[in-house]
């Protein structure tokens, strides 16, 4: 029995000696209260709660050189299981690329509106439906108008008189009333009044709007129809308000359409509208594309990319490293030796997989790009425990009142 006790004392003494020897080799950074990590002293003592202060060594996390959020220490095995990956903070060039959406619209420079110049009735309608293709010079409709009949009769009387001035005035009146030159020449040749006056298409395109039917009474204020040439179309893209300063005329742009996968239309920003949409808070941008085959049709949806001017020599990190919250943006810094700490940052532009950092990081530091949410949650939990401990220290004991 005595031999067993002696052996146990010998082992305990050796353990104590080894612990003291290890403690001597490790240098103490400071002493901290076990229930209040913000209470620090340079030598051993008691905490405000009467507990012994515990040492914090130089090789432990949470040193004075690491201010801010609590530091989290993770063993190599856990880091491997979590798949923790880091990336270096460096400098480079970021392009102000705008990814947005848009829709195809008519090229307003290639739209013509058809009106009559006198009152009358539509007797024959050739272009009978919206979307119908027409060619330049094609007959659209015929109209009966008493004024046009009278003007033709006056012109025939002028021809009989052989008075050059009267003939010229009568011809100009027919032009002013919208009578085509071909019909005036036919009237001169046949010397017979036509009861119907023809209206022809002035351009190739489609009937984009049709407001008349046969037998309708029309007058100059009536919008009879509109013709749109689809060989060129506009793409109206919408840019968010915070990106309004990024876009200007002349920038290159690309468009992709869901119904034509793999095909890319290339163009340039033709016009930036000087106002924002009051409902969507977006800036409208116009891009023109050639459409000789007519594959792009009005109101088609498109994914649009506009390449803005570059920002050179900016501090950047992978976009996946950023943790966004309602109040701030932050990243998790890798301090080395399995230590990690969240840090608030101020971000700038985002381009593809990269994010500009305007403050909060230094070149050469490493940020966590995977499993950072778990590490950030652990740090936030530790910070909450520290605040709770600080609150308990400030609470008055039983029977005491605060001064």
15, two tokens? 């353990």
289, two tokens? 């594309």
Say if residue 280's pLDDT is above 60: yes
What's the confidence (pLDDT) of residue 59? 53
Say if residue 175's pLDDT is above 80: yes
Q: How confident is the model at residue 224 (pLDDT cuts 50, 70, 90)?
A: very high
Return the closest-CA partner of residue 317 out of 97, 93, 96, 90: 90
Q: How confident is the model at residue 33 (pLDDT cuts 50, 70, 90)?
A: confident
Boundary-marking domain end, from 270, 285, 309: 309
Mean pLDDT across 227-236: 94
Instruction: State whether 176 and 325 are in the same domain.
Output: no
Instruction: State whether 27 and 41 are in the same domain.
Output: yes
Q: Per-residue pLDDT tens for 42-88?
A: 888 888 877 788 776 665 544 333 445 667 777 787 778 778 888 89
Distance CA(305)–CA(287), nearest Å, equals 11
Boundary-marking domain end, from 228, 243, 266: 228
Q: Report the helix count and the strand count for the chain, using DSSP H and E.
A: 6, 24
Instruction: State whether 129 and 266 are in the same domain.
Output: no
Higher pLDDT, 400 or 332: 332
Boundary-marking domain end, from 264, 286, 309: 309
Instruction: State whether 243 and 165 are in the same domain.
Output: no
Instruction: State whether 288 and 337 are in the same domain.
Output: no
Distance CA(374)–CA(281), nearest Å, equals 36
Distance CA(118)–CA(176), nearest Å, equals 10
In a domain, 195, yes or no: yes
Cross-strand bridge partners of residue 99: 305
* Domain of 145, in residue numbers: 112-228
In a domain, 402, yes or no: no
Q: In this structure, what CATH number is given to the domain that contains residue 116?
A: 2.40.50.100
Instruction: State whether 244 and 103 are in the same domain.
Output: yes
235, two tokens? 């793409």
Radius of gyration of the chain (CA): 41
In a domain, 154, yes or no: yes
Say if residue 258's pLDDT is above 70: yes
Q: How confident is the model at residue 381 (pLDDT cuts 50, 70, 90)?
A: low
Q: How many other C-beta atoms lie within 10 A of the C-beta of residue 381?
A: 12
Distance CA(41)–CA(53), nearest Å, equals 8
Instruction: State whether 298 and 253 are in the same domain.
Output: yes
Q: Per-residue pLDDT tens for 121-169?
A: 999 999 999 999 999 999 999 999 999 999 999 989 898 888 888 989 9
Mean pLDDT for all residues in the chain = 81
Q: Per-residue pLDDT tens for 343-375?
A: 889 988 887 788 889 988 989 999 998 877 777
In a domain, 295, yes or no: yes
Q: Per-residue pLDDT tens for 94-107?
A: 878 888 999 999 99
Instruction: State whether 238 and 282 are in the same domain.
Output: yes
Instruction: State whether 256 and 388 are in the same domain.
Output: no
Which helix (H) or strand (E) segment holds residue 374: the answer is helix 372-394
Instruction: State whether 239 and 102 are in the same domain.
Output: yes
Higher pLDDT, 27 or 275: 275
Alpha carbon of 61 to those of 33, 57, 71: distances in Å?
15, 8, 6
Instruction: Please state, for a pLDDT cut of 70, what percent of the chain lies above it.
Output: 82
Instruction: State whether 191 and 257 are in the same domain.
Output: no
Alpha carbon of 278 to those of 96, 100, 275: distances in Å?
25, 18, 9
Q: Per-residue pLDDT tens for 188-201?
A: 888 889 888 889 99
Kindly tell me the burial class for residue 216, based on how many C-beta atoms sit within 10 Å of its own C-beta (0-12, 13-18, 19 or more): middle
What's the confidence (pLDDT) of residue 75? 76
Please state the separation of Cα 318 from the chain's center in Å.
19
Instruction: State whether 163 and 271 are in the same domain.
Output: no
Number of structural domains the chain divides into? 4
Return the closest-CA partner of residue 102 out of 297, 231, 284: 284
Alpha carbon of 44 to those of 25, 33, 56, 277: distances in Å?
18, 10, 11, 67
In a domain, 238, yes or no: yes
DSSP string, 332-360: EEEEETTEEEEEEEEEEEEETTEEEEEES
Alpha carbon of 294 to those of 122, 206, 228, 236: distances in Å?
31, 11, 12, 17
């Amino acid at each position: 029995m005595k031999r067993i006790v002696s052996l146990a004392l010998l082992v305990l003494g050796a353990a104590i000696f080894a612990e003291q020897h290890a403690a001597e080799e490790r240098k103490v950074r400071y002493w901290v209260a076990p229930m209040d990590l913000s209470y620090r002293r340079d030598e051993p003592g008691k905490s405000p709660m009467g507990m012994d202060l515990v040492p914090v060594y130089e090789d432990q996390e949470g040193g004075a050189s690491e201010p801010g959020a609590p530091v989290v220490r993770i063993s190599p095995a856990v880091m491997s299981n979590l798949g923790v990956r880091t990336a270096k903070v460096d400098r480079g060039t970021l392009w102000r690329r705008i990814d947005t959406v848009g829709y195809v619209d008519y090229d307003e420079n290639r739209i013509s509106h058809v009106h009559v110049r006198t009152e009358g009735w539509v007797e024959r309608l050739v272009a009978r439906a919206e979307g119908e293709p027409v060619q330049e010079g094609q007959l659209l409709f015929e109209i009966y108008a008493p004024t046009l009949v009278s003007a033709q009769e006056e012109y025939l009387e002028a021809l009989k008189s052989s008075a050059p001035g009267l003939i010229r005035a009568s011809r100009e009146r027919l032009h002013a009333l919208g009578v085509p030159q071909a019909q005036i020449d036919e009237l001169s040749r046949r010397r017979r009044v036509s009861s119907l006056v023809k209206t022809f298409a002035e351009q190739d395109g489609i009937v984009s709007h049709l407001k008349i039917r046969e037998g309708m009474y029309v007058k100059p204020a009536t919008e009879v129809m509109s013709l749109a040439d689809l060989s060129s179309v506009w793409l109206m893209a919408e840019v968010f308000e915070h990106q309004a300063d990024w876009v200007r005329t002349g920038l290159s742009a690309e468009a992709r359409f869901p119904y034509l996968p793999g095909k890319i239309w290339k163009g340039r920003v033709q016009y930036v509208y000087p106002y924002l949409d009051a409902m969507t808070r977006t800036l409208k941008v116009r891009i023109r594309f050639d459409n000789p085959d007519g594959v792009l049709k009005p109101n088609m949806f498109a994914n649009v990319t506009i390449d803005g001017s570059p920002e050179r020599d900016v501090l950047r990190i992978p976009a996946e490293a950023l943790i966004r919250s309602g109040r701030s943006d932050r990243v998790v810094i890798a301090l080395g030796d399995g230590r990690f700490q969240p840090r608030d940052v101020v971000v700038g532009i985002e381009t593809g997989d990269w994010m500009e950092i305007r403050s909060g990081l230094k070149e050469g530091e490493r940020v966590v790009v995977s499993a950072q949410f778990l590490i950030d949650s652990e740090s936030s939990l530790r910070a909450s425990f520290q605040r709770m401990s600080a609150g308990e220290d400030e609470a008055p004991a039983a029977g005491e009142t605060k001064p």
